[in-house]
Each structure stands twice: as structure tokens, then as C-alpha cells.
Structure 1
Amino acid sequence: MRKPADSSAPLADLIAQRWSPRALDETAEVTWDQLRAVLEAARWAASFGNTQPARYLVGRRGDDTFRRILGTLTPRNQAWAHRAGALLIAVMVTRNEKGEIPYAEYGLGLAGQNLVLQAVAEGLVAHQMAGFDADAARHEFGIPDEAVPRVAIAIGVQAHPDVLGEERAVERERAPRRRVPLGEFGYTGGWGRPAF
């Protein structure tokens, strides 16, 4: 199911096609080559002073790391994310040998966007989740104090919405994508004055 962005200007296809489905094919494989590509894309994201604060824990369906990441997700996310071909936890490094890393969260966000766009290029989908237990992830994987688990990510092959089972979940999957109007997004001359 495709849900391209309804935009007021032409967008690059990777951006227009990117969205965050929950309906994933539990039989489709996400290969190590595909994971290498999405992580390389994340690695080459811009960061303040080239501090590169992004790090990722990576598990493929069936391996121990996948099982342990799945265990950190909220029950609501576990209900669909178990079908993913891969699960990741994005971690923000806040200190390095030079001290505090400025704008580390912004750098992790830029890396995450590269990652999900590369997933689209690989014929995959990615869904980022705040619904996970960061403390459990820290304990489970020995994440040091200067690194902060910020988001979990499911990567896989999109499936028919009916795999979600529950009617509300299927309707949510089929619902149109929505964004605030461009006039409420870009301002000029002062706050609240639409640029477009």
C-alpha cells in the first residue's frame, strides 16, 4: 500500500514515499547487506563539528539481539513490531574525548532520517518508536552513561494492513497521511506570517 505525500511542491521520490507503516511481512527477510546500507546512510549524516553522536544496536529477526530489543518495546509496539525483519535501538552519545557533544540529539535525528530514507531506497519501510524502555535497553545491552537510548526502529517489508488484525489498527494503517499546512509551517517576516 503506497501513501505518497500530498505536497504543494514536487518532492524527491524517497521523501514522498517514506511513511511509517506497522503492517510488516513476518516472512520477508531484511538482509545484512540492506542493514549495512541503512547504517552507512546514517553514518554519513551531518553532525555538529563532525561529532557523529549516533550509534545503533542492530538485531535481525530470529537472533538474540532482536529478541532482546523486542523485549524493551511497550506491549503495544511488540504487538506489531515482532513481524519486522530487523529491530534497532538508536543511541545518542553525549560525550567524547573532547567533552560534551553539542546538539547530539539533532545529530541523531539527522542520522535517523538518512537511515529511514535509505530503507525506502532498499525497498523497505522503517517505523521509529518512542514506545520502549530506555532503562531496560541500557541494562540489557550495557550502554554506558554517556550514551542515551532515544528511539527504537523497526525495519521490514510492508504487508497488507489486515495482518494487524484489530479493526482500529487496520483503519489507522489505511488512514491518509496528514501534516500541518505549509502556511502553518514556514513563516516570513515574523512568527505566524505564512511564507507560502
Structure 2
Amino acid sequence: MKPADSAVPLHPLLAERWSPRALDPGTELTDKQFLALFEAARWAPSWGNTQPARFVAGRRGDETFEKLRGALSRGNHGWAGNAGALVLGVARRVNDEGEQLPYGEYGLGLAVENLVLQAGAEGLVAHQMAGFDGQAAREAFGVPEDYEPLVMIAVGAQGDAAELPDRLAEKENAPRSRMELDRIVFSGSWNEPTF
């Protein structure tokens, strides 16, 4: 556990959420846990209730999981194989009338955060990744051109950081950090800190 060093107490789901790479290769997601991830994502807010988030999901050992893993970058391919599930997050970009759908990426981001927090509520962890080949994923699953693969998520149970290669174990054991609030929240004018 690496709880957030926050200015005020946060809900445990937020304070304890982090993105480990050390995943337990022996843990399998139950059907209920797997379903709960996507039920949480489904109930995320979206602009005009357009619900732009789509997912391709596989559990370790199935064909979908292996195809998703095949699209990962070399740096993610190894450790992510221990995940109980791999999930590709895809944003819808065009509506039924063929017009650009605004805020699709934002809607996918909200849905993914719901998925990640639900994973925490299920006693699991999730690690979001940009290190994957979106075109390879598109081709592997026949993702239409009006949808954009944007994120891959590894979900599982936390494992032992000592099992990771040295450079990843070092990242795993490093303290969590964020910019201070005075650098990200302003009032009055830009760069005038609120806190």
C-alpha cells in the first residue's frame, strides 16, 4: 500500500489507488469482479449522455487477452502478462449522423476512472498504459475507423515487486508524488494559487 500524501483525508478508494506493475500471476478475476468493472464504466457520466466509451476485454488465458498483450509495447508486454485481465479502452469519435462526437476522449477517461476505482473496491489494482500499438489493436479486433483505441489497462491482484526487473522494481518501490496544489489550482488570475 502506498497511500496518497494528501492535504486533507481522501476516500480510501482514492487515497489507496495507484498503478503497480507487480501483479500476482496466480490471481484470476471472478466473473462478478470482471462484470463489475464494466458495469462501473457503463455508469460514468458523459457529454449529453453520448456514452462514447467502448472496451475490448480478455482474461488471462483466453485469446482476447493474448491478442491485447500482443499489441503492448516491449516495456509493458512482460509484466502485464501477469494481469488477470487486459482491457483496451476505445473512444467513439463520430455519432450516428456522421458528425464529430465532442468530448469522446473525456468520456472514455471518466469511464476508465470508474473502472479503475471499481477494481480497487473489488480488492484489485489497475495499471493504465499508453505503451501499446493502437493500429495493431485496431486490426486485431476490427475496430472501426470512427473509434480510437486510446488506453490499455491491466487489472489484477498486487504481486511482489521483487519479481520485476530491477528498473521496474525501482519504480514500483518509489514513493508516489504529485504536483502541489499551488501549481494546479488558481483563483483571480492564472498562476495565482487558490491554496
SS at match of 2:88: strand
Q: Percent identity at matched positions?
A: 55
Query: What's the offset of the Cα at 1:83?
Result: 0.4
SS at match of 1:89: strand
Partner of 2:19: 20
Number of corresponding residues: 194
Query: Following the alignment from structure 1 to structure 2, what is the Cα–Cα distance between the partners of residues 65 and 102?
Result: 29
Query: Following the alignment from structure 1 to structure 2, what is the Cα–Cα distance between the partners of residues 135 and 169?
Result: 26
Query: Following the alignment from structure 2 to structure 1, what is the Cα–Cα distance between the partners of residues 16 and 112?
Result: 16
Query: Following the alignment from structure 2 to structure 1, what is the Cα–Cα distance between the partners of residues 166 and 152?
Result: 25
- 2:112 paired with 1:112: yes
Map Cα deviations across residues 141-184 of structure 1 (whole Å, 9 max, x no partner): 000011110010000000111111x2221111010001000111
- 2:185 paired with 1:194: no
**Superposed CA RMSD:** 0.8
Query: Following the alignment from structure 1 to structure 2, what is the Cα–Cα distance between the partners of residues 87 and 131?
Result: 13
TM-score by length of 2: 0.98
Query: Following the alignment from structure 1 to structure 2, what is the Cα–Cα distance between the partners of residues 134 and 27?
Result: 28
Query: What's the offset of the Cα at 1:100?
Result: 2.1
Deviates more, 1:124-133 or 1:30-39: 30-39
Give the partner amino acid of 1:46: P
Give the partner amino acid of 1:175: A
Query: Following the alignment from structure 1 to structure 2, what is the Cα–Cα distance between the partners of residues 31 and 174?
Result: 28
Query: What's the offset of the Cα at 1:32?
Result: 2.1
Give the partner amino acid of 2:114: N
